[in-house]
């Protein structure tokens, strides 16, 4: 454990945003770090409010005794999912692998340190949920002071067992898939399914409140959580340790966590080097045949390189393609259910003609398609390999053109499909449909060029984990937030104008505006490339 703690301390110091803020002289970097802290504080506050509200619901319905079990299950499920999605990138195939493995430490020590690093980085999520639920539980249950102490101590142990289980599953996935070319396909599919479930959860909650089934639902959840302790023993140990102050359950929790940690990383350590070596290498087809090479333009070659970069990263794939997947699903669902029925569901059967929403169709589709432009993150994703791109006989503008071309290849087909589906379902006239398709293409061009402007102006090459660029990067934030709110406003504006002006005129005006903005953004990228 001394070696684990030594390595962990070094990793935390080298990646700590507060430590970087303390020692850097870069004013822009300091502003970016402060913005990140503010954003994180807002997210954690929202999580805590939601957790307290959950306990208030339990307390008002006389079910507060189920709160400890619900807390244990919530933290455990979140820890399991987050760990399973982060295993490839934290435990395996991480950036500083060669450096760490060259140090005089055993492979299982390095693996254990990376696990602890992942645990510490995720700990604020678990603490926010657990401490907030403790406040709600304390208000209604009025437990002893010792119960508070036990809850706080066990909060730091709650995520360990599910994280170890998820890490071992991730190890098995990596072990099996190490010899395949597409090693991240399982994690990518799991991530997409989980995100789609989160989107659908909103409608489940709305249905529950609309039908006045809150009390009945809470009672059912309480029964389910109580029965879950029979299958997931740590939740029962946590509940008994808090509510009954059971020392047996407390020591069981401590002992099982320690034994499981040692066991998992003894097993992982035996294959750790082999798995990482396989993941960092490239599989070759057994029946390889030499054939004539096809000549491609440099711009297309860069676009293909960006495609390979995206498909090789679970985080990049999910964030870049999620909007397109949602747009595709929207198109299919609209064809099956009907445009008018979808509008009635979203507006809670508001009495108005759904036809007035037709001018907003391109912006509705673009709300998903333009959710993230790959060009906002791709310049920074070059990272420490950026010098290779600079040393090639390729102009920077050519490199950026290739990155923009890839984003067009990614967004335009999904936009065309979703827009066509919505237009067919809404029975939009043919001429209007063609104009909406042109407008959608112009919006994709603007998204691509404006994203590249953000990506180049806020380029960051000193990242240690690609999550810092794809999810938390300043370029992505500057692109995403204004774009999202402007599109929401444009949806409302086009609906209003549609009641006053011919729909074709509205489409033509916005085609001209979008094309002009796309051209200006592209021109700006070309200037920045110099």
Dihedral sign, Cα of residue 304, residue 307, residue 313, residue 316: positive
User: What pLDDT, on the 0 to 100 scale, is given for residue 444?
Assistant: 93
User: What pLDDT, on the 0 to 100 scale, is given for residue 279?
Assistant: 57
Here the tokens at position 100 are 């760490």
Here the tokens at position 138 are 């304390």
pLDDT digits (tens, 9 = 90+) for 132-144: 999 988 888 888 8
pLDDT digits (tens, 9 = 90+) for 290-338: 565 566 678 888 888 888 888 777 678 777 888 888 899 888 888 888 8
User: What pLDDT, on the 0 to 100 scale, is given for residue 212?
Assistant: 47
Q: Which tops the pLDDT comparison, 357 or 88? A: 357
Averaged pLDDT for residues 61-75: 83
* CB within 8 Å of 49: residues ≥ 6 apart: 132
Residue that has been written with the tokens 């657990």 in this structure: 130
pLDDT digits (tens, 9 = 90+) for 395-454: 888 888 999 999 999 999 999 999 999 999 988 899 999 999 999 999 999 999 999 998
User: What pLDDT, on the 0 to 100 scale, is given for residue 192?
Assistant: 59
- Residue 29 pLDDT exceeds 70: yes
User: What pLDDT, on the 0 to 100 scale, is given for residue 276?
Assistant: 65
User: What pLDDT, on the 0 to 100 scale, is given for residue 363?
Assistant: 92
pLDDT digits (tens, 9 = 90+) for 511-521: 999 999 999 99
CA gap 3, 387 in Å, rounded: 34
Residue that has been written with the tokens 């509008």 in this structure: 343
- Within a 10 A sphere around the Cβ of 305, how many other Cβ atoms? 16
pLDDT digits (tens, 9 = 90+) for 359-397: 889 999 999 898 888 998 888 888 767 766 666 777 888
Rounded to two decimals, what is the model's pTM? 0.63
Here the tokens at position 398 are 């050519």
Question: For 30-44, 100-114, 220-234, which range has the lowest pLDDT when averaged over its residues?
Answer: 220-234
Question: Which phi and psi (to 5°) does residue 465 adopt?
Answer: -135, 135
Q: Which tops the pLDDT comparison, 21 or 288? A: 21
* Listed ranges 114-118, 175-179, 209-213, 364-368; the one with the highest mean pLDDT: 364-368
Q: Which tops the pLDDT comparison, 223 or 237? A: 237
CA gap 199, 387 in Å, rounded: 40
Under 8 Å between Cβ of 403 and 306 = yes
* Alpha helices, H only, 312-429: 314-337, 339-346, 361-369, 374-381, 386-391, 396-426
Q: What is the mean pLDDT of the chain?
A: 79
Here the tokens at position 50 are 């939601």
Q: Write the DSSP assignment of 271-316 as a string of letters.
A: HHHHHHHHHHS----TT----PPPP--HHHHHHHHHHHHHHT-HHH
Q: Which tops the pLDDT comparison, 129 or 319? A: 129
Here the tokens at position 428 are 């939009």
| Residue from 98, 86, 109, 108 nearest 6 by CA | 109
Helical packing angle, 474-498 and 361-369, nearest 10°: 170
User: What pLDDT, on the 0 to 100 scale, is given for residue 208?
Assistant: 46
């Amino acid at each position: 454990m001394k070696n684990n703690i030594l390595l962990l301390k070094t990793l935390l110091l080298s990646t700590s945003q507060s430590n970087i803020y303390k020692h850097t002289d870069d004013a822009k970097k300091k502003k970016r770090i402060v913005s990140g802290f503010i954003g994180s504080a807002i997210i954690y506050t929202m999580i805590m409010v939601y957790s307290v509200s959950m306990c208030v619901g339990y307390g008002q319905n006389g079910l507060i005794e189920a709160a400890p079990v619900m807390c244990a299950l919530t933290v455990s499920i979140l820890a399991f999912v987050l760990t399973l999605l982060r295993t490839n990138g934290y435990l395996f195939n991480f950036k500083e692998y060669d450096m760490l493995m060259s140090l005089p430490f055993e492979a299982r020590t390095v693996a254990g340190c990376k696990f602890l690093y992942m645990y510490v980085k995720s700990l604020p999520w678990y603490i926010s949920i657990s401490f907030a639920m403790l406040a709600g539980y304390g208000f209604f249950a009025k437990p002893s002071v010792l119960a508070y102490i036990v809850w706080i101590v066990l909060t730091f142990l709650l995520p360990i067992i599910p994280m170890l289980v998820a890490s071992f599953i991730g190890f098995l996935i990596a072990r099996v898939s190490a010899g395949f070319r597409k090693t991240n396909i399982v994690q990518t599919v799991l991530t997409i399914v989980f995100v789609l479930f989160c989107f659908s959860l909103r409608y489940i909650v709305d249905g529950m409140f609309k039908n006045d089934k809150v009390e009945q639902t809470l009672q059912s959840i309480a029964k389910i959580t109580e029965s879950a302790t029979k299958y997931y023993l740590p939740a029962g140990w946590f509940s008994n340790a808090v509510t009954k102050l059971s020392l047996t359950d407390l020591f069981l929790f401590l002992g099982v966590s320690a034994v499981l940690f040692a066991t998992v990383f003894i097993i992982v350590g035996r294959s750790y080097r082999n798995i990482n070596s396989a993941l960092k290498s490239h599989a070759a087809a057994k029946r390889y045949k030499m054939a004539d090479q096809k000549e491609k333009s440099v711009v297309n070659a860069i676009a293909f390189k960006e495609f390979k970069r995206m498909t090789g990263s679970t985080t990049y794939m999910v964030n870049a393609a999620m909007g397109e997947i949602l747009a595709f699903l929207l198109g299919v669902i609209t064809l099956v259910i009907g445009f008018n029925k979808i509008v009635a569901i979203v507006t809670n059967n508001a009495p108005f003609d759904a036809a007035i929403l037709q001018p907003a169709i391109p912006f509705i589709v673009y709300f998903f398609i333009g959710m993230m432009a790959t060009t906002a993150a791709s310049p920074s994703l070059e990272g420490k390999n950026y010098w290779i791109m600079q040393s090639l006989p390729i102009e920077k503008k050519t490199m950026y053109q290739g990155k923009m071309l890839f984003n067009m290849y990614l967004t335009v087909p999904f936009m065309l499909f979703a827009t066509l589906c919505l237009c067919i379902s809404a029975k939009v006239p043919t001429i209007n449909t063609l104009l909406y398709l042109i407008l959608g293409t112009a919006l994709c061009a603007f998204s691509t060029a404006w994203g590249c402007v953000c990506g180049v102006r806020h380029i960051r090459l000193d990242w240690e984990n690609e999550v810092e660029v794809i999810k938390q990067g300043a370029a992505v934030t500057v692109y995403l937030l204004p774009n999202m709110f402007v599109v929401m406003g444009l949806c409302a504006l086009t609906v209003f104008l549609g009641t006053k002006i011919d729909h074709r005129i509205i489409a033509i005006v916005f085609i001209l505006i979008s094309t002009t903005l796309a051209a200006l953004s592209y021109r700006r990228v070309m200037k920045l490339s110099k």
